[in-house]
Amino acid sequence: MTAKPESSLARLFREIPEHREVSLNSLARRLGLRSSSVLEKVRPLLKKGILVVRDRHSRIGINPEFGHVMGIDLGASHLHFALADFGGEILGDATIKIRPEDGPHKVVGQIKEGLRSLAAKAGRGRLRAVGIGVPSAVDAERGIVAFANNLPGWKDIHLGRELEKEFRVPVFMENDANMAAIGERWRGVARGVSNFVFIAIGTGIGSGVFVDGKLYRGHSGWAGELFRMNIDWPKWSEDFGDTGHFESYVSGMGIAAEGRKALAMPASTSASGLAQERDAFFVFESFRQGNAEARAVLEKIFIMLGVGIANVVAILEPDLIVLGGGITKGAPEFMLATAEKVVRAIQKDLTPPLKLSSLEDKAQTFGAIYAALQAARDAVARRL
């Protein structure tokens, strides 16, 4: 079936720069029109409240009060919601703890309740779209969580469809590391960088890859899933289960497991829950107190991280590597220094800058907001 050609009004609407105003004169030059003609063409959008003009009709931009969008970060132990206006400014946020062992049905219910609760506090416009990042490869077209290895039972879950049915708005779902990469390019240290890799190290590990200014998803949406990467060839035939070789070490749960062995910590009981079992806080706390065993554990993990990054550089040669996720806050200077030393030893002159995310634990949320805005604006454009 041939797609319906986009209208001239829709094309003009897409020319309005994202989240800021543009002068009518510069917009007219891009479109080869007179300023008065542009103003006349967008009059339907002005009447609907989608666009606004300012500075004596010399500038035009998105009306932030046209509606709001919701960005959601689904982690292995939490849900973070952020409500933003149509210009991308955050109006409010909320965090809910989850128990991954409770399964998808309960967590989906918590997502719906969190959406309803925060949206009710908006006080302006209607909900226009939702963006959600999940710790899994996704089928973005059908809104399916393919396999969240850190969330028991999350395989082929139709989360996007559930939310669209409940709230009757477009829902854009993406892998959490990809979503964080989107956020970092929109508002973080990768702003304006066309080729970079965002590596998210939290409970697990993953990455989002930008090539020529576009997110690279791969054939089946699994591009950047570092958790299965192997950096120890003699172990090529070993079964590391759902976590894979790399994530078994370079992750919060990997650090926690190594830390319990090195520091002679008792194993977590089933009553403590998966989130506590995977928490590496005690290792970083011991490191900060000068514990030699804790330092050795972290050095081992950060060396492995450096080898993994060097392998990524060998394939992609990006302009920038951005490190984010909760684990990066434990010992950031030690992590950067160790990983960079390893990468430089392996790649020498090819080593790109390694930087910490400037958005920290909000990168995925900002990415979800951006994705929701794009989904909302696409929905507007299709109706023009």
- Domain co-membership, 202 together with 172: no
Q: Which two tokens stand for residue 58?
A: 């010399």
Q: What is the mean pLDDT of the chain?
A: 89
- Distance between CA atoms of 39 and 139, rounded to whole angstroms? 40
- Tell me the pLDDT band of 12, cut-offs 50, 70 and 90: confident
Bridge partners of residue 99, in order along the sequence: none
How many folded domains does the chain comprise?
3
Is a pLDDT exceeding 60 seen at residue 271?
no
Per-residue pLDDT at 21: 80
User: What distances in angstroms separate CA 293 from CA 51, 156, 326, 330, one per listed residue?
Assistant: 59, 41, 21, 16
307 with 274, same domain: the answer is yes
Q: Residue 318, exposed/middle/buried by CB under 10 A (0-12, 13-18, 19+)? A: buried
Confidence of residue 244 (pLDDT cuts 50, 70, 90): confident
Pair (262, 196) in one structural domain: yes
270 band by pLDDT with thresholds 50, 70 and 90? very low
Lowest mean pLDDT among 30-34, 86-90, 188-192, 255-259: 30-34
Residue 3 lies in a domain: no
Strand, coil or helix: what is 116? Answer: helix
Question: What does each C-alpha distance from 344 to 306, 309, 334, 351 come to in angstroms?
Answer: 9, 10, 15, 6
| CATH number, domain with residue 29 | 1.10.10.10
Domain final residue, candidates 25, 40, 62: 62
Does 2 fall in a domain? Answer: no
Confidence of residue 5 (pLDDT cuts 50, 70, 90): low
Please check whether residue 89 lies inside any domain of the structure. yes
Give the alpha-carbon dihedral of 208, 211, 214, 216, to 10 degrees: -50
Mean pLDDT within 73-77:
88
The answer to the question of residue 1 being in a domain is no
Structural domain boundaries, residue 38: 8-62
Q: What is the rounded average pLDDT of the residues 210-227?
A: 90
For 335-363, how does the pLDDT look when each residue is reduced to its tens digit (9 = 90+)?
A: 999 999 999 999 998 999 999 999 988 99
Question: Would you state the pLDDT for residue 338?
Answer: 98
Shared domain for 98 and 242, answered yes or no, is: no
Distances 350 to 132, 314, 344 between C-alpha atoms, Å: 34, 8, 8
The reply to whether 88 and 105 lie within a common domain is: yes
Three-class secondary structure of residue 331 per DSSP: coil
Q: For residues 263, 264, 269 and 275, what is the CA-based torsion angle, rounded to 10 degrees? A: 10
> What is the tens place of the pLDDT at every residue in 298-332?
999 999 999 999 999 999 999 999 999 999 999 99
Query: Is residue 127 located within the same domain as residue 29?
Result: no
Question: pLDDT at residue 179 above 80?
Answer: yes
Q: What is the pLDDT of residues 144-157, one digit of tens each?
A: 998 887 788 999 99
Residues 235 and 296 in one domain: yes
The most confident of the ranges 26-35, 257-266, 267-276, 337-346 is 337-346
Q: 62, 85, 102: which is the final residue of a domain?
A: 62
pLDDT tens digit sequence for 279-293: 899 999 999 999 999
- The residue among 116, 145, 121, 118 whose CA lies nearest residue 133 is 145
Q: For position 173, what pLDDT does the model report?
A: 95
Same domain, 206 and 313: yes
Q: Could you tell me what percentage of the chain is helix, strand and coil, using 3-state DSSP and rounding each to the nearest 5? A: 50, 20, 30
Phi, psi dihedral angles at 104 (to 5 degrees): -65, -35
Asked whether residue 199 falls in the same domain as residue 235, the answer is: yes
96 or 76: whose pLDDT is higher? 96
Cβ-proximal residues to 61 (8 Å cutoff; 6+ apart), any chain? 16, 17, 20, 21, 22, 51, 52, 54, 87
- Which two three-digit tokens encode residue 241? 């289960």
Mean pLDDT of 6-31: 79
| Residues 47 and 119 reside in one and the same domain | no
Contact 89, 71 (CB under 8 A): no
E strands, the chain, where? 22-23, 51-54, 59-62, 67-74, 78-85, 90-97, 126-134, 137-139, 144-147, 155-157, 171-175, 196-201, 205-211, 214-216, 320-324, 354-356
What tens digit of pLDDT does each residue of 25-43 get?
Answer: 888 888 888 888 888 888 8
- Tell me the Cα Rg of the chain: 23
Report pLDDT for 1. Answer: 46
**pLDDT band at 272; cut points 50, 70, 90:** low
- What's the confidence (pLDDT) of residue 269? 45
Q: Are residues 284 and 339 in the same domain?
A: yes
Q: Is a pLDDT exceeding 70 seen at residue 190?
A: yes
| pLDDT higher than 60, residue 19 | no
Identify the CATH number of the domain in which residue 252 sits.
3.30.420.40
The CA-based angle 160-166-171, given to 5 degrees, is: 35
Please indicate, yes or no, whether residues 133 and 198 belong to a single structural domain of this protein: no
Q: Answer yes or no: is 43 within a domain.
A: yes
**Buried residues in 276-302 as b, exposed as e (16+ CB within 10 A):** eebbbeebbebbeeebebbbebbebbb
pLDDT at 273 over 60: no
